[in-house]
A = this chain, B = another copy of it.
Amino acid sequence: MSYATPFETFGIWAVVAVAVSALGYAIILVFQVLRQDSGTSEMQEIASAIRTGAQAYLRRQFRAILVLIAILTIVLYLTAALAGAEWHISVGRAAAFLMGSLFSATVGYVGMSMAVAANVRVASASRRSVTEALRIAYRAGTITGMLTDGLGLLGGTLIFIIYGKTAPEVLLGFGFGGTLLALFMRVGGGIYTKSADVGADLVGKIELGIPEDDPRNAAAIADLVGDNVGDCAGMAADVFESYEVTMVSAMILGLALQPFDLKWIIFPLLVRGIGVVSSILGTYAVTVWPTKDAFKAMDWSYDLSSLLSTISFAFLAHFYVGDWRVFWSTFAGILLAIGFNKYTAYFTHTDHAPVQQIARSTRTGAATTILSGLGIGFESTVWAILIIVIAILASVLIFAGSGVSYVLYSVALCGIGMLSHTGNNVSMDAFGPIADNANGIGEMSGMEAEARSVMATLDAVGNTTKAITKGIAIASAVIASVSLFGSFITNINVARSELGLSSSGHLSGINIADPIVFVGMLVGGAVPFLFSSLSIRAVERGATAIADEVRRQFSNAGLVRGEVKPDYERAVVICTTAAQKELVGMGLLAVLTPVVVGLLLGAESLGAFLGGVILVGQLLAVFMANAGGAWDNAKKVIEEGKYGGLHSPAHQASVVGDTVGDPLKDTAGPALNPMIKVINLVSVIIAPLVVRISTQTDQLWIGYTLGAAGLVVLGIVVWRSKREN
């Protein structure tokens, strides 16, 4: 910090102040939401069951991973200490890891708590007016958005203030903690929510033809709990992690650029600070716009935030950095976010050709419905890649001729720009499951049809915003990964020169023309498939267990007539167990695979492994998110009356499509985003150690032994998961 100009010192503390203000704003919103009327006692009873189930689940999840987090804290200390770092850096990395996990968990937990408090209030407000229901749901979502912004910005800035030039080593810990927690929340929450949802539908919608959230369905409460632990807690932690990792990579690359000129690192912090202010103003404006269309209001707010930010970024680039290129890179990120929004809407919105096409193919049955969804999902990956490719190429061209370090920094700035309005995104996204839950409470407590139609409208808007947030999150994974590649190579070269190995030695990149390196890439490509396979099958197992339970309870005639209440608790327990079972195993999979590849095949293969994970992870995640979203909305098209409408054969086919899409879009797909980043950060963190072990012939046996041990653990994880089938 000693090199900072007075303006820079002021700027950094201003960023801290903005972060704290965001948290303060969140607290104000909490009181505003809680002050609202919380409905009839019947509604409150259902809401309380949801709340209890959701909180019990998250607590159990946190307990389940506690030991792993404790072990990893020590391991993180060792990764720095063994690589020769000073003690305060090693301790800092471990502490930052803890802080990152804690922040991620907090965002998820608080976000979910607000959702389960808001749902019943939205249900109650929907009896009065759309505007009021919208305001409460959106404000509850904004709380999570502000937490995401505030904690992400605060953590990163504080680490920079404390550690200065040595911050990168510590920031890696912060990023890893947040990402790992997000992975657990996404996997656990995703398996929970879709086991309940698919299981409830298999018996309710498909076998018995009763509506969703029918109070006689034993899985009804579990389904509503699932929306909160998956779509709220899981999503919030995941977006927090994306926000944090893009910042970490920009700071690392900025610090590496010009050690004695702080503007390259302070610029991204200021950009993020401005983004938070723009988000506060934008989200505040949502209820002010002269429109009754909820989506339009949120869209306008997003545009307002983007406009405010863009102007401020330009001022900052001109007057502070004195280099317009940083503006263009950040602006490319803003455009990338907008481009991805439009792209996702095209592939998943009911108005456009892809969903219409799937809807049309329901006429010839379930098989063609699935086939056209697969075809469209496959195609959508191509356009996603092209949009990302254009953004990367633009970032490269903006800094063309300045060398690869600047180019990577430029890509990182693109990520900074892209996620600068995370506050808006989270608010828009969290809003959907809250409306959905409110609707469920309405259905279960037998609320009047007009109020429920208000909530259904809000829910439909939420489906689109949800798809958009997922798209942004996965695109940010690729952008962050490309920039982190730079840190990976830097780390390796630094380690090599510290060991006295010529830095002009055989590693100055990742050469996939070398068969051993190519093998790393092949293995990397297989990981997302393995991961998705495990999560899809976990959902299938969970859903089958739920379906059996619902069917068993329905064999009671009193339940069918509505005289006896079902035992909701049992379904909640089944989902909790299903989600917990895979949790630690899948976490180990993400953490251990890069370690094993690095130790057995070397640092360069590890880099190619990373490339394979990013490439295939991105493709699969987009495919699953879009195919799932499109099937979901194709069903909506049929339900609105096309091709025979509700209960027609076309509708049955569309329900099959939707059910297949559910675990793809809400479990397997979203989990790939944090998985990519966990693997990425683990690779960057262990790179120096891998170089150390693999280049000293007398230590080779250590690497191979550890690698083989890791392989055995991975084998056990996969075997256990398969055995349960």
Residues of A within 8 A of B (CB): 198, 202, 206, 353, 357, 361, 364-368, 370-372, 374-376, 378-379, 381-382, 385-386, 388-389, 392-393, 395-396, 404, 407-408, 411, 478, 482, 485-486, 488-489, 508-516, 518-519, 521-523, 525-526, 529-530, 532-534, 536-537, 539-540, 543-544, 547, 607-608, 611-612, 615-616, 618-619, 623, 655-656, 659-660, 663-664, 725
Contact = CB atoms under 8 A, between A and B. Distances in A.
A725 B660 contact: no
Contact of A512 (B536, B611, B725): B611
Contact of A608 (B365, B392, B407, B512): B512
A623 B378 CA distance: 13
Nearest to A206: B365
A456 to B, nearest CB: 23
A379 B537 CA distance: 10
Contact of A509 (B375, B489, B513, B529): B513
Nearest to A653: B366
Contacts of A611: 512, 518, 521
A381 B660 contact: no
Contact of A376 (B353, B486, B533, B619): B533
Contacts of A488: 513
For the complex of A and B, 6 pairs with smallest distance between CB atoms: A509-B511, A367-B659, A378-B533, A379-B533, A375-B537, A385-B526
Contacts of A543: 364, 368
A519 B198 CA distance: 38
B663 A536 contact: no
16 contacts: A198-B367, A202-B364, A206-B365, A364-B547, A367-B656, A367-B659, A368-B540, A370-B656, A371-B536, A371-B539, A371-B540, A371-B659, A374-B664, A378-B529, A395-B515, A529-B619
Contacts of A512: 485, 509-510, 512, 607-608, 611
A515 B411 contact: yes
Task: Tell me whether chain A's interface is mostly helix, strand or loop, or mixed.
Answer: helix
Contact of A372 (B375, B485, B513, B540): B540
Given A198-B367, A364-B544, A510-B512, A616 B525 contact: yes
Stoichiometry, copies per complex: 2
A478 B526 CA distance: 14
A659 B366 CA distance: 9
Contacts of A612: 615
Contacts of A385: 522-523, 525-526
A618 to B, nearest CB: 8
Residue in A376, A408, A532, A656 with the greatest tally of chain B CB atoms within 10 Å: A656
A513 B540 contact: no
Contacts of A198: 367
A635 to B, nearest CB: 12
B660 A522 contact: no
Nearest to A489: B513
A525 B513 CA distance: 17
Contacts of A530: 378-379, 382
A525 B361 CA distance: 28
Contact of A368 (B202, B407, B513): B202
A522 B206 contact: no
Residue in A367, A485, A514 with the greatest tally of chain B CB atoms within 10 Å: A367
A650 to B, nearest CB: 13
A410 to B, nearest CB: 9
B378 A532 contact: yes
Contacts of A381: 526, 529
A393 B663 contact: no
A525 B389 CA distance: 12
